[in-house]
Amino acid sequence: MGEWTPSWTEREHAAAVGAVREAIGRGDVYQVNVVGHAGAPYRGDPAPALRRVAELPGARYGGVLAGRGWALATASPETLVEVRDGRVITRPIKGTRPATALGRRELLASAKERAEHVMIVDLERNDLARLPGVGPVTVDELFAVRRWVNLWQAESVVSAPITGDLDLADLLRAVCPGGSVTGAPKRAALAEIDALEPVGRGVSMGAVGWIGPDHIDLGLSIRTVAVDGTRVHAWAGGGITWDSDPAAEVAEAAAKAAPIRAALAGPCPDRLLPPSW
């Protein structure tokens, strides 16, 4: 692998955070998830590096998909949507801290992180409630702390019983793109994302998983990388609210990207977190 080249600088990333805060101040949105991209050249067989990404601890959806001239690896901890035992389930993740005792306490005590998280839980509740063929939506678990590599993340479980015919296309239209990688209100957040992000999201922030006759399990393709024969691509970002600090948001994105980059480069635990964390 060669050197990583980001699609925007840290200053430009911070400026995008500021632009979202201005949009929130105008009342256009409540929250927007801002994502950055970076690419690096490579040569040789990428398969071993991609397998290391897929094997990162804490990945609910860890695997590699490949086709002619492309491949992707995901180590996603987040469920976009699951259909199992007569229920539709989504598990939004929002809120991040280093996986230390102090980081856990900070995450649980953060009013900013909890407010950001609850906004996305409400959005997911509304997404499921609009579906035909489902019953009352419930929040089965709220702001539970889970570990992904060297990070704590907050996760909730939102579900609804299937009470009638549930069409796959309707289900995917309701939940895609995921609320935790867009924002609230979702359409207004998407407009901000389109205006601010310098490149497209590619395979990231989509979905990867399984669809069967009586079971659907799709993971949100965060913590995901792609290769195209000459370059490797990775994405990372976070949700922006009125209380967001631009420098902290830039650092959080770097913390999410660091384990992926370290896995691609080779086993090296001391590189799993950047020095700023």
**Residue tagged active-site, from 55, 82, 94, 112:** 94
- What is the rounded CA–CA span in Å between residue 39 and residue 57? 23
Classify each residue of 67-105 as buried b or exposed e, where b means 16 or more C-beta atoms within 10 Å of its C-beta.
eeeebbbbbbbbbbbbbeeeebbbbbbbbbbbbeeebee
**Residue tagged active-site, from 10, 12, 55, 78:** 78
Is 94 tagged catalytic?
A: yes
Is 256 tagged catalytic?
A: no
- What is the rounded CA–CA span in Å between residue 51 and residue 65? 10
Q: Cβ neighbours of residue 90 under 8 Å, at least 6 residues apart?
A: 79, 80, 81, 82, 124, 127, 128, 157, 158, 159, 175, 178
Q: Which residues are catalytic?
A: 78, 94
